[in-house]
């Protein structure tokens, strides 16, 4: 029937075990952060044992790092699916903002991992190399939109794509990361369906408005 590439067959499948551990570990680290997460808890939700976690990943920090790396790769892959090529620049930008907003919402575990990593000062992210290109790809999308907008006379010519990305990320990220404290402080009206629709729309509108050629100033 089917032959695995490396001729590994039924039962005793290391790759699957590895992936299983990674999957569970991602959820645990996202929920509890690094220190509060117990390897035993991860193992318990896996089909394998604590011994195997160490066997495959060495130690806790390495596992965490592998999780972070996989999460980044997964999310960036999702982003790459967005196609804005044949849209006029204003619609493309609006679509990008809305997509980013939704995409963050749909990946709370990733957001929480990034929060955790920021608490740690980004120390585990430093040795990840292949992120640079993926990240620059995100900026390049914005650069193209800005350039097209400028060329058509629709956008201002002093837009910084990086600063624009920063603002889009800020709203999309904060919406997920600070939901708990924001809701406790101000109620959860912004987090029901209507509230989220409002925030999403205002985010898109304010970003768009800020790049359009001098409506006022």
Partner DNA sequence: CTGATAATGAACCGACGGGTTAATTAGGTC
Partner DNA sequence: GACCTAATTAACCCGTCGGTTCATTATCAG
| Binders in 38-67 for DNA, by CB under 7 A | 38-40, 48-52, 54-55, 59-61
Whose Cβ is closer to DNA: residue 26's or residue 37's?
37
Closest CA to 112 of 8, 4, 32, 195: 32
What would the x/- binding string for a copy of itself be over residues 93 to 112, using CB under 8 A? -------------------x
Binding test (CB under 7 A) with DNA, winner from 37, 65, 107, 175? 37
First to last CA, the chain: 69
135 lies in the binding site for a copy of itself (CB under 8 A): yes
What is the total count of residues that contact a copy of itself (CB under 8 A)?
Answer: 58
Identify each DSSP E strand in the chain by its residue range: none
Taking CB under 7 A as the criterion, the residue among 7, 127, 181, 185 binding DNA is: 7
Taking the complex as a whole, how short is the minimal distance between the CB of residue 69 and DNA, in angstroms?
17
Nearer to a copy of itself, 22 or 34 (CB): 34
Q: What is the dihedral of CA 163, 84, 101, 76, to 10 degrees?
A: -80
Question: If you write DSSP's letter for every residue of 165-210 in order, what string do you get?
Answer: HHHHHHHHHHHHHTHHHHHHHH-SGGGSHHHHHHHHHHHHHHHHHH
Distance from C-alpha of 175 to C-alpha of 189, rounded to nearest angstrom: 13
Burial class of residue 15, CB neighbours in 10 A (0-12, 13-18, 19+): exposed
Residues that bind a copy of itself in the complex, under the rule CB under 8 A: 32-36, 112, 114-122, 125-126, 131-132, 135, 139, 160, 162-163, 165-167, 169-171, 173-175, 177-186, 189-190, 198-199, 202-203, 205-207, 209-210, 212, 215-217
Residues that bind DNA in the complex, under the rule CB under 7 A: 7-14, 17, 37-40, 48-52, 54-55, 59-61
């Amino acid at each position: 029937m089917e032959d695995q590439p490396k001729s590994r067959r039924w039962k005793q499948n290391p790759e699957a075990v590895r992936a299983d551990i990674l999957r569970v570990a991602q959820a645990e680290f996202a929920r509890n952060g690094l220190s509060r997460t117990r390897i035993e808890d991860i193992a318990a939700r896996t089909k394998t044992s604590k011994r195997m976690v160490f066997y495959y990943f060495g130690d806790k920090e390495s596992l965490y790092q592998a999780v972070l790396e996989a999460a980044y790769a997964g999310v960036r892959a999702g982003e790459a699916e967005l196609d804005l090529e044949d849209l006029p620049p204003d619609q493309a930008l609006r679509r990008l903002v809305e997509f980013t907003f939704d995409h963050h919402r749909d990946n709370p575990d990733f957001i929480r991992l990034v929060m955790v990593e920021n608490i740690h000062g980004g120390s585990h992210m430093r040795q990840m190399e292949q992120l640079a290109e993926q990240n620059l790809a995100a900026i390049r999308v914005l650069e193209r939109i800005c350039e097209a907008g400028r060329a058509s006379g629709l956008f201002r010519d002093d837009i910084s794509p990086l600063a624009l990305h920063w603002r889009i990320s800020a709203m999309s990220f904060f919406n997920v990361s600070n939901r708990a404290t924001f809701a406790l402080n101000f109620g959860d009206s912004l987090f029901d369906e209507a509230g989220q629709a409002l925030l999403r729309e205002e985010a898109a509108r304010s970003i768009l408005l800020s790049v359009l050629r001098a409506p006022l100033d």
